[in-house]
Structure formats: structure tokens, C-alpha cells
Amino acid sequence: MSTLALAVLGRGLVDPTEPVLRADDLALLRGQAAFETTRVYAGKPFRLDDHLARLSISAARMDLPKPDEEAFRELVMGAIELKAIEDASLRLVWTPGSSEGGGSVGFALFGAIPPGHEPLRTRGMNVITLPLGVPYELRAKAPWILGGVKSTSYAANMAAIAEAERHGADDAIFLAEDEVVLEGPKTNVWWRRGQTLFTPSLETGILAGITREFVLEAAPGLGYEVEQGVYRRSELATAEEAFTSSSVRELMPVVLLDGSPIGDGRAGPAAAALQLALRRTASEG
Ligand SMILES: Cc1ncc(COP(=O)(O)O)c(C=O)c1O
């Protein structure tokens, strides 16, 4: 990621190459921080309040102090104005600080949007499924597994993407026991049969994606019904189209699953219509 700006709670804008954490911050030692990623469109962060609310939920799930959402909002909006930021990815991080009482650190990191997204949206992604080997009920109900929490302990998620790339794929989709479809390492998963969109329900312990929420709201207006549930891999594999949703990559078609085409193997109409609707909503602020 090419960094555009860095702003720290209590300090404001700082040189992005400057260190902002102590070496004994538990964020670093234990991967115990909460984070959020959203996208800035024409100077407006998409659904910032929803991301801040989810940051607080993640912090609570990890027993971190509650972040000051208003202070974060001011930090973000101030940085966007001072640096004249137009289009960017925006990562918010909230750490517990040191176990010796160093205090929490909150920062907002703005980065350039990676250039590869638009060609990938045209081509569609090649995705592999990867088993997690746990029942989906456990992911949602065992608080120590941190299902649905955006913590900085994403090393396993990044290892899954690296595994996908070793297989010549672009991304991965996690499966719970019995091939129950969960989510990608950084995305929610969708597929379509006729005019119905399907997506795993939150009871599978997936992250309540903000883009997922947008799709749930926008789909009926575009002529699609949505069903949420507990679905097996075979239902995704035999769909007419599939796509992922996430804040920075937005709606991204999936055209190959474990080497076999989904539908006609091309990017589908629902992903395209939702992508247009997302951009329209984002530009309205
Ligand atoms: C595990 C996981 N699922 C889903 C998502 C998509 O969430 P959102 O639409 O809020 O970006 C993310 C985003 O990073 C994620 O990390």
C-alpha cells in the first residue's frame, strides 16, 4: 500500500514514516488491536459511523478500552481536509497499548487505491476454497475464536491469500466443517440463482461487512431478493454467478471456484449492477 497520510489520536497528522507505537504495545506483541478499513470517495469516507461502531464492537470483544468514536471522526475528517484527500483506502487502528500502562493508541492511515482492481473486476476472480475444520456454530458462539471480529491478528487470513496465490488463484473462501461457506479472508461472499442472491448468515460467525449491509439494502431496488442462511460449497459452485463484497475492492466477480467455472465463467449482471449502485451511493456521501 502506498501511504498518503497518517493521523494519530491526540497528535493529528504526523510524518507517515514516523513510528507511532511502543515496542511493547500488545497490538504488536499479541496482535490484539481492533481495526477497520473503509474507502474514501471524493473526500467522503463511506459509512464512517458504521465502521466506528464496528471498531468499538471489535474492541469490546477483545476487552480493549472503548475507542472515542467522535475523536476518531474528527481525526479522519481533519486529515482529509488538510491533506486534500480525494480517493483512498482508510484504515483505522485502535490498540490496547502496553501491559505496563502505556495507553491505547488510535490512528488513521490513508493509502492509495491499488491499481489492479478494475482489470480484476472485468476478468473476475479465480478463487479456491480452504477448510477451517471447525463447525460454523462454534465460530459464532465461542467468544475466544473471535469470529466476526476485525482484529489485527490477520496473519492466518493473509496466509490463506498466499496459499490461494500459490495455487494460481486470486483469493480464498473459508469453509467450516461440512463445507459450510463462510467468507473470504477479507471479503463477504455472495452468489446468484435467477433473481435471488444468497449469502451466509451472521450465525456462521462471519464478519458483519459494511458492504454486505449495503448489498442487503440495495438488492431489492435492483430487482434481487436476498436469502441469508447456512449453505454448502455445492450451492456456491452451481450458482449462475458469484461475487465478493468488501470496502476497498467493492463488488468483485468470482468466475472460477477450485478450477471450475461458476455459471458461464464470466462476470455477472448482479455484481455489475451492485457495483454501479455502490459507486452512486458513495458519491452521494
Ligand atoms: C473477514 C472479513 N470478512 C468480510 C469483510 C468485508 O467487510 P467490509 O464490507 O466491511 O469491508 C472483511 C473486510 O475486511 C473481512 O476482513
- The confidence score (pLDDT) of residue 25 equals 96
Query: Mind listing the pLDDT tens digit for each residue in 161-207?
Result: 999 999 999 999 999 999 999 999 999 999 999 999 999 999 999 99
Q: Is the pLDDT of residue 285 over 80?
A: no
**Residues 265, 246: Cα–Cα separation, whole Å:** 21
**Residues 247, 212: Cα–Cα separation, whole Å:** 9
Cβ of residue 209 lying under 6 Å from some atom of ligand 1: yes
Select from 92, 188, 210 the residue to mutate for testing ligand 1; criterion: most ligand atoms less than 8 Å from CB.
188
Residue 52 has a CB neighbour count (10 Å cut-off) of: 23
Q: Is 191 in contact with 232 (CB distance < 8 Å)?
A: no
User: What residues are paired with 243 via a beta bridge?
Assistant: 190, 253
- Residue 101 Cα to ligand 1 midpoint, Å, equals 31
- Residue 18 Cα to ligand 1 midpoint, Å, equals 28
Cβ of residue 211 lying under 6 Å from some atom of ligand 1: yes
- Residue 148 Cα to ligand 1 midpoint, Å, equals 9
Q: Is 105 in contact with 21 (CB distance < 8 Å)?
A: yes
**Residues 46, 285: Cα–Cα separation, whole Å:** 7
- The confidence score (pLDDT) of residue 284 equals 85
**For ligand 1, atom 16: residue with the closest CA:** 186
**For ligand 1, atom 12: residue with the closest CA:** 186
**For ligand 1, atom 2: residue with the closest CA:** 186
Cβ of residue 199 lying under 6 Å from some atom of ligand 1: no
**For ligand 1, atom 15: residue with the closest CA:** 186
Three-class secondary structure of residue 236 per DSSP: helix
- Residue 71 Cα to ligand 1 midpoint, Å, equals 23
Select from 90, 145, 207 the residue to mutate for testing ligand 1; criterion: most ligand atoms less than 8 Å from CB.
207
Three-class secondary structure of residue 191 per DSSP: strand
Cβ of residue 188 lying under 6 Å from some atom of ligand 1: yes
Q: Is the pLDDT of residue 100 over 90?
A: no
- Residue 176 Cα to ligand 1 midpoint, Å, equals 17
Q: Which residues of 194-215 are buried (b: 16+ CB within 10 A; e: fewer)?
A: eeebbbbeeebbbbebbbbebb
Helices and strands (DSSP H and E) totals, the chain: 9, 15
Q: Which three cell numbers stand for residue 17?
A: 514514516
- Residue 213 Cα to ligand 1 midpoint, Å, equals 11
Cβ of residue 250 lying under 6 Å from some atom of ligand 1: no
Give the orientation angle of helix 69-82 with respect to helix 48-61, to 10 degrees.
140
Give the pLDDT band of residue 67 (cuts 50, 70, 90): very high
**Residues 223, 250: Cα–Cα separation, whole Å:** 20
Q: What is the mean pLDDT of the chain?
A: 97
Query: Mind listing the pLDDT tens digit for each residue in 113-157?
Result: 999 999 999 999 999 999 999 999 998 889 999 999 999 999 999
Mean pLDDT on 89-106: 93
User: Measured at the alpha carbon of residue 54, what is the angle toward residues 36 and 26, in degrees to the nearest 5?
Assistant: 60
What single-letter DSSP state applies at residue 23? T
Atom of ligand 1 nearest to the CA of 245: 9
- Residue 207 Cα to ligand 1 midpoint, Å, equals 6
Instruction: Name every residue whose Cβ is closer than 8 Å to that of residue 134 and which is 6 or more positions away in sequence.
Output: 145, 176, 177
Query: Mind listing the pLDDT tens digit for each residue in 227-274?
Result: 999 999 999 999 999 999 999 999 999 999 999 999 999 999 999 999
**For ligand 1, atom 13: residue with the closest CA:** 186
**Residues 48, 35: Cα–Cα separation, whole Å:** 13
- The confidence score (pLDDT) of residue 1 equals 73
